[in-house]
Amino acid sequence: MKFLASAWEQVYGLLVEDGQIAVGTLAAFAAAAAWSALAGEELRDSAGPLLFVLLMSLLLVNLYTTGRKAAGSRITH
């Protein structure tokens, strides 16, 4: 049972180590999908660069907040 729980924790952790990044990634993809569906033929291809910009912004914001949190406290394992 402990092994199964450990395996599930590992599988869950593979995709969702940081909730903000995982949810943000899905939200960015959903936003790009919405843009692709609603923007029309001429602007559909801009959904690709939009996805890139959203994801890189998410990464920078997440790292910034993580860095601030870590700098503000010393957590030892």
Partner 1 sequence: MILTLAIAAVPAFVASIVEWVEAFTIVVAVGNTRGWRSPILGTLAGLATLAVIVGVFGTPLIIFHEQVSQSFHIVVGVLLLLFGMRWLRKSILRFAGIVALHDEELIYQREVAELRAQGLSLSRWDNIGFWFSFKAVLLEGLEVAFIVIALGAQGGLALQAAIAGAVAAFLVTTLLGAMLHKPLTFVPENFMKFVVGAMLTTFGIFWGAGGLLVQWPVVGGTDFVSLLAILAGVSLTSWVAVRMLGNVAPQGARVAARNI
Binding region for partner 1 (CB under 8 A): 3, 6-7, 10-11, 14-18, 21-22, 25-26, 29, 32-33, 36-37, 44-45, 47-48, 51-52, 55-56, 58-60, 62-64, 66-71, 73-77
Residue 1 or 75: which CB sits closer to partner 1?
A: 75
Residue reference for tokens 């940081």: 18
Give least dist CB 41 to partner 1, A: 10
d(CA 43, CA 34) in angstroms, rounded, equals 12
d(CA 33, CA 9) in angstroms, rounded, equals 30
Secondary structure (3-state) at 74: coil
